Amino acid sequence: MRKICEVNGTEVYFIETEVFKTETISVYFQDELKSETLALNSLLPNVLRHGSKNYPSMKALSSKLDSMYGAMLYCDVMKRGMSQIAYFSIDCVADKYTNANSKNDSSTFKEACELLFDVIANPLTENVDGVESFSADYVRQEKANTISLIEGRINDKAQYATERCIEEIWKPSVLGKYELGSVEEIEKITANSLYERYREFLKAAKRFVFITGRTIDDKIDIVKNILETALPKQDVPISGLQVVCTLENKTEIKNILEEMKVEQGKLCLGYNTHVATDTKEYFALLMFNAIFGGSGFFNSKLFLNVREKEGLCYHIASDIDKFSGLIIVGCGIDAKEKERTMRIISEQLEEMKNGNISDFEMSYTKDTIEYSLKCINDSQMMMTEYKFGQLLKGTVYSFDEYMKNINEVTKEEVVAVAKKVTQDTIYFLG
């Protein structure tokens, strides 16, 4: 990844890859995570996705995308540490395969850029009593969709339990709020209040553009010209917003029981690792998590002991938040086996604190991390998201640099990290 240019405060990066026949343009808006704007921001991408002045409906947008050899348009909103991110991306066939030239009007890349920024910066609006706002119909539809998503969280019990555990860990901080906001917050939003927030958002958010493909030199002028007119100039440069966050020490373990009629109880355990994820110690934390119970690591202690040896669950894994270092262990169990399961999980953590880590576990884990890292290159979207995450943390590594840091982690460093890990929260849904 390399930085190409900066236009009106928007940083532009290029990720070179020759694996795909498509090119992607992704635009990220990074805003401070705030309670008062979380719900408003969560609505913005999908309202904008409904249509622009030039393509005033989803049907018109779809027709345009179809004419561009089936280009695909995506948008989303997400929490990343102390930041809220709005994301827009378009995936199009590379000009090389359409016999087009990036510098002429037949360029699919140019069309894709123009369409993406038309959606972002030229939204369909309406004027009511002299006041400009978003289309009331589009806002009404997206409010209904978002409320449906919020109310439907419970349908995926495992994901719901994980989200609820994280919310309980961070209460009363804004980090404990659901990323789409609450039903009450969504219901209060109007077409006008959302449009006012949109205008503030374009100026206040830190902006990034990522382009993935084979070449960039023939596309720089296209991107520069569009950015100079599409987005408002940021007169005051926006410094990096805080992303990495740390969890405060607690004197007591929080124990949450949420009663619900379920076929299988969902147990989630939250751990404070006390490791800053923008330091080199984070690599030892990655090794610790993978050996302890890392998702996809079938030689992890939790997988081998809780699932394989004791047969207490079908799936168990520990996942790490790369912005806070928080670790969540999640599994589905019979309610009557809750105490036994927690005991075995605690025993495995103690095993690691006591240094019971084999050379095989160290080498196997390093090989698996390397394989997982290579898999990122199988998707342009994963490549962009991975590099953007690194950029947010201020820890940008090449593949070789990343693996060098992983391979240099010693057993003693993993044990040292394990000794810092403390349990923060027990959440059980059942």
Is residue 40 within 8 Å of residue 204, measured between CB atoms?
A: no
CA–CA gap between residue 2 and residue 277 (Å, rounded): 23
pLDDT at residue number 244: 84
Q: Is the pLDDT of residue 319 over 60?
A: yes
Q: Is the pLDDT of residue 128 over 90?
A: no
The percentage of residues in the chain with a pLDDT greater than 70, rounded to a whole number, is 97
Helix (H, G, I), strand (E, B) or coil at 81: coil
pLDDT at residue number 428: 97
Q: Is the pLDDT of residue 184 over 90?
A: yes
pLDDT band at 65; cut points 50, 70, 90: very high
Is residue 430 within 8 Å of residue 265, measured between CB atoms?
A: yes
pLDDT at residue number 371: 94
Q: Mean per-residue pLDDT for 80-98?
A: 93
pLDDT band at 247; cut points 50, 70, 90: confident
Backbone conformation region of residue 269, classed left if phi is above 0, alpha if psi is from -120 to 50, else beta: beta
Is residue 313 within 8 Å of residue 332, measured between CB atoms?
A: yes
pLDDT band at 83; cut points 50, 70, 90: very high
Give the pLDDT confidence of 330-355 residue by residue, as tens digits: 999 999 999 999 999 999 999 999 99
Is residue 74 within 8 Å of residue 120, measured between CB atoms?
A: no
- 269: number of Cβ within 10 Å: 24
Give the pLDDT confidence of 385-404 residue by residue, as tens digits: 999 999 999 899 999 999 99
Q: Mean per-residue pLDDT for 43-68?
A: 96
Give the pLDDT confidence of 1-17 residue by residue, as tens digits: 999 999 988 999 999 99
Give the pLDDT confidence of 262-289 residue by residue, as tens digits: 889 999 999 999 999 999 999 999 999 9
Between the alpha carbon of residue 336 and those of residues 253, 258, 266, 283, 328, the distances in Å are 21, 15, 12, 37, 21
Give the pLDDT confidence of 32-52 residue by residue, as tens digits: 999 999 999 999 999 999 999
pLDDT band at 236; cut points 50, 70, 90: low
3-state helix, strand, coil split of the chain in percent (to 5) is: 45, 20, 30
pLDDT at residue number 297: 86
CA–CA gap between residue 81 and residue 392 (Å, rounded): 9
| Domain annotation for the chain: domains and CATH numbers | 2-230 (3.30.830.10), 254-429 (3.30.830.10)
pLDDT at residue number 103: 56
Q: Mean per-residue pLDDT for 294-302?
A: 90
Q: Is the pLDDT of residue 238 over 70?
A: no
pLDDT at residue number 283: 97
Residue with tokens 């084979």: 214
C-alpha 38: how far from chain center? 15
Q: Is the pLDDT of residue 245 over 90?
A: no
pLDDT at residue number 237: 57
Beta bridge partner(s), residue 126 = 133
pLDDT at residue number 258: 95
Q: Mean per-residue pLDDT for 245-259?
A: 89
Q: What is the DSSP string of 247-295?
A: PPP-SS-EEEEE----SSEEEEEEEE----TTSTHHHHHHHHHHHHTBT
pLDDT at residue number 123: 96
Beta bridge partner(s), residue 89 = 26, 74
Q: Taking each helix axis from N to C terminus, what angle separates 359-375 and 411-420, rounded to the nearest 10 degrees?
A: 80
Give the pLDDT confidence of 93-126 residue by residue, as tens digits: 998 888 766 555 668 999 999 999 999 999 999 9
- Nearest-5° angle of CA 273, CA 275, CA 281? 125
